[in-house]
């Protein structure tokens, strides 16, 4: 694992941008993308760059079940706002949260990943070491699957909705094996709330109880983080 420590989230985004630009210039055709606060600066850089995405494909990690793409809490909406409006891709795939048959949607998404092997996968990391919605205990050999959100996540998300009943109860998410199949991975983590996760991802045992620890086994992972996030590393 290569670790790049940057001054802050903004320089971290600029650093990630350099890697993305370099990979795209060197022929990367399929980008695996993430939502959340960590990639926002990278997306700003990409959105304002001269890079052309019209020949590229993007595949996102996850989407909530039951949310319309127009819902401002959906990951479709997030990606449109932060990147796709400014930089349309040839194809942009996200799980369809409105699919009537989740099992077929999961199979469809796996097929998309199979047909478009990911050249460069972007990740954030949860405080507990989750990657995408793969929470502690998710099998390392998992492919795309439906994840039931925990009651605490549902309650935490309820602040963004008019009522708790509107909060999604599950999500469709790329599995850990799918993430590991990417040729190159860049993980962004900023702030001291990520320090436990960074320490255990980098130095801890590789265990399904700490999903991101599997990245120790990937041949090409770059972690971009700030000093606050790495302060516990030996």
- Residues binding ligand F6R (CB under 6 A): 34-38, 61-62, 124-126, 130-133
Q: Of 25 and 176, which has the nearer Cβ to ligand F6R?
A: 176
Q: Of 36 and 50, which has the nearer Cβ to ligand F6R?
A: 36
Question: Cβ 146 to ligand F6R, closest distance in Å?
Answer: 14
Handedness of CA 231, 200, 78, 70 (dihedral sign): negative
Backbone φ and ψ of 41, nearest 5°: -65, -40
State yes or no: is 101 an active-site residue: no
**The one catalytic residue among 41, 119, 135, 226:** 135
* Contacting residues for 7 by C-beta, under 8 A, at least 6 apart: 226, 227
Contact indicator for 98, 172 with CB cutoff of 8 Å: no
Q: Of 119 and 135, which has the nearer Cβ to ligand F6R?
A: 135
State yes or no: is 157 an active-site residue: no
Contact indicator for 87, 100 with CB cutoff of 8 Å: no
CA-to-CA distance for 76 and 103, rounded, in angstroms?
A: 20
Question: Cβ 68 to ligand F6R, closest distance in Å?
Answer: 18
66 Ramachandran zone, left/alpha/beta (phi>0; psi -120 to 50)? left
The DSSP call for residue 100 is S
What does the angle CA 108 – CA 82 – CA 91 come to, to the nearest 5 degrees? 35
**The one catalytic residue among 80, 96, 128, 157:** 128
Q: Of 55 and 159, which has the nearer Cβ to ligand F6R?
A: 159
C-beta nearest to ligand F6R: residue: 124
Question: Cβ 40 to ligand F6R, closest distance in Å?
Answer: 8
Question: Cβ 50 to ligand F6R, closest distance in Å?
Answer: 26
State yes or no: is 63 an active-site residue: no
State yes or no: is 52 an active-site residue: no
Hey, which residues does 145 pair with through a beta bridge?
173
Catalytic residue annotation: 62, 128, 130, 135
């Amino acid at each position: 694992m290569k670790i790049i420590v940057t001054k802050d989230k903004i320089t971290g985004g600029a650093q990630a941008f350099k890697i993305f630009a370099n990979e795209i210039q060197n022929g990367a055709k399929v980008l695996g993308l993430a939502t959340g606060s960590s990639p926002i600066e990278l997306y700003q850089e990409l959105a304002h760059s001269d890079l052309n995405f019209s020949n590229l494909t993007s595949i996102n990690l996850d989407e909530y079940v039951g949310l319309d793409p127009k819902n401002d809490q959906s990951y479709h909406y997030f990606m449109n706002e932060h990147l796709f409006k400014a930089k349309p891709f040839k194809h942009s795939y996200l799980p369809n949260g409105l699919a009537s048959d989740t099992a077929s949607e999961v199979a469809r998404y796996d097929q998309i990943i199979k047909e478009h092997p990911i050249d460069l996968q972007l990740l954030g990391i949860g405080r507990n070491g989750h990657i995408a919605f793969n929470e502690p205990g998710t099998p390392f050999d998992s492919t795309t699957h439906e994840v039931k959100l925990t009651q605490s996540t549902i309650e935490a998300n309820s602040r963004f909705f008019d009522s708790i009943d509107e909060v999604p109860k599950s999500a469709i998410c790329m599995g850990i094996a799918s993430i590991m199949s990417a040729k190159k991975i860049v993980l962004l983590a900023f702030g001291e709330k990520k320090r436990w996760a960074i320490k255990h991802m980098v130095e801890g045992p590789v265990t399904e109880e700490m999903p991101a620890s599997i990245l120790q086994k990937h041949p090409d992972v770059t972690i971009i983080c700030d000093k606050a996030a790495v302060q516990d590393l030996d």
